[in-house]
C-alpha cells in the first residue's frame, strides 16, 4: 500500500506552509461607519426632541396627584369641623410641599398655595330649585407658590360637605 497516494492533509495547509496572498477583509469600511454614526445621531436627536414634552407631561401628572392629596387633606380637615365653623377654613391660605403635606407659610419647602372659599346654603346641581341649609360648597383653588401673578391657577376643585342630621345649627 502506497502512503503517498493518500495524503493526510488534502487541500488543507499545515502550519508550516506559507500563508495565502489573498486579502482577508476584517472590520468595517469608513463609509459603513459614517452611515452608522449618522443613523445613531438622527435617532438620538429625535429622542432628545421628545424630552421636553415628556417632562411637561410628568409635571402635569405630578400636579394632578398632589392636588388630589391636598384636596383629601383639606376635606379631611373640614369633615372634622363643626358644620357652622366651616367658614373658618377660608380665613387663611394653606401651603403644601411637593409631597402634598401641609406646611407653615414660612416653611421654605412650601410649593403650593391653596385658597378655600365656603358657600353655605346652596342648591345642589341635581336640584337647582331647592336650597339646602345642610350642604356647604367648598371651592379649593391651587397655585404654585413660585408662579407669577399672571399665571392662571394650577387647579380648582369644587366639593360638597353635608352636615350630619341635627347639626346644622351648631
Query: How much is the pTM?
Result: 0.61
What confidence tens digit (pLDDT) does each residue in 122-147 have?
776 777 777 777 888 888 888 877 65
Rounded to the nearest 5°, which phi and psi values hold at 116? -115, 135
Give the integer Cα–Cα distance in Å for 89 and 110: 19
Using the predicted structure, report yes or no on whether residue 111 has a pLDDT greater than 90. Answer: no
Percent of the chain with pLDDT over 70: 75
- Residue 167 confidence (pLDDT) above 50: no
pLDDT in tens, 69-101: 988 999 888 888 888 888 888 888 898 888 888
Position 150 pLDDT exceeds 80: no
Which one is predicted more confidently, 120 or 19?
A: 120
Residue 51 reports pLDDT greater than 80: yes
Give me the pLDDT at residue 147, please.
56
Quote the distance between the C-alpha of residue 85 and its chain's center: 36
Per-residue pLDDT band for 24 (boundaries 50, 70, 90) equals low
Residue 3 has pLDDT above 70, yes or no: no
In this predicted structure, the answer to whether residue 110 has a pLDDT above a threshold of 50 is yes
Please, are residues 139 and 122 in contact by the beta-carbon 8 Å criterion?
no
Distance CA 143, CA 149 (A): 10
Residue 28 burial (CB < 10 Å; 0-12/13-18/19+)? exposed
Do 73 and 100 contact (CB within 8 A), yes or no? yes
Amino acid at each position: 500500500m502506497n502512503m503517498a497516494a493518500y495524503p493526510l492533509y488534502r487541500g488543507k495547509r499545515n502550519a508550516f506552509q506559507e500563508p495565502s496572498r489573498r486579502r482577508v477583509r476584517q472590520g468595517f469600511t469608513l463609509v459603513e461607519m459614517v452611515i452608522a454614526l449618522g443613523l445613531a445621531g438622527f435617532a438620538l436627536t429625535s429622542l432628545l426632541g421628545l424630552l421636553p414634552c415628556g417632562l411637561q407631561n410628568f409635571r402635569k401628572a405630578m400636579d394632578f396627584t398632589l392636588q388630589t392629596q391636598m384636596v383629601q387633606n383639606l376635606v379631611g380637615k373640614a369633615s372634622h369641623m363643626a358644620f357652622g365653623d366651616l367658614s373658618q377654613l377660608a380665613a387663611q391660605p394653606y401651603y403644601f410641599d411637593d409631597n402634598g403635606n401641609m406646611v407653615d407659610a414660612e416653611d421654605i419647602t412650601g410649593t403650593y398655595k391653596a385658597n378655600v372659599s365656603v358657600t353655605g346654603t346652596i342648591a345642589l346641581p341635581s336640584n337647582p330649585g331647592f336650597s339646602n341649609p345642610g350642604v356647604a360648597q367648598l371651592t379649593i383653588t391651587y397655585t404654585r407658590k413660585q408662579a407669577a401673578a399672571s399665571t392662571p391657577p394650577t387647579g380648582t376643585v369644587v366639593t360638597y360637605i353635608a352636615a350630619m342630621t341635627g347639626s346644622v345649627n351648631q
